[in-house]
Amino acid sequence: MKITGITCLGITTFILLTVIIFAMMNLSFGWIFYATCLGQIALVYSVYRVLKDDYTTEKTFSDFYEDRPDLGE
């Protein structure tokens, strides 16, 4: 199964929210430190995956906002 960029962002968000929970629970510094390092590595990887994702669209700037067509005039 191929992991998409948005899936990587979801995993990264989960890791970084876990860091917050660890800090609120007063877990040992080692767990929080390594989870933070893992979260930062995951964030850099997620940004790379999103930027390198093979995504194409047929939309142009003339389509502008589809939910507010009055803004495109």
The total of structural domains in the chain comes to 1
Please tell me the predicted confidence (pLDDT) of residue 6. 87
Side-chain half-sphere exposure of 31, counting CA atoms within 13 A: 12
Express each pLDDT in 32-63 by its tens digit: 999 999 999 999 999 999 898 887 878 777 66
The DSSP secondary-structure symbol of 3 reads P
30 against 67, higher pLDDT = 30
Report yes or no on 22 lying in a domain.
Answer: yes
pLDDT of residue 66 exceeding 80, the answer is: no
Report yes or no on 26 lying in a domain.
Answer: yes
Report yes or no on 18 lying in a domain.
Answer: yes
Report yes or no on 70 lying in a domain.
Answer: no
Report yes or no on 63 lying in a domain.
Answer: no
Report yes or no on 72 lying in a domain.
Answer: no
Structural domain range at position 26: 1-53
The DSSP secondary-structure symbol of 67 reads S
3-state secondary structure of 2: coil
Please tell me the predicted confidence (pLDDT) of residue 71. 65
Please tell me the predicted confidence (pLDDT) of residue 56. 81
Report yes or no on 66 lying in a domain.
Answer: no
Report yes or no on 30 lying in a domain.
Answer: yes
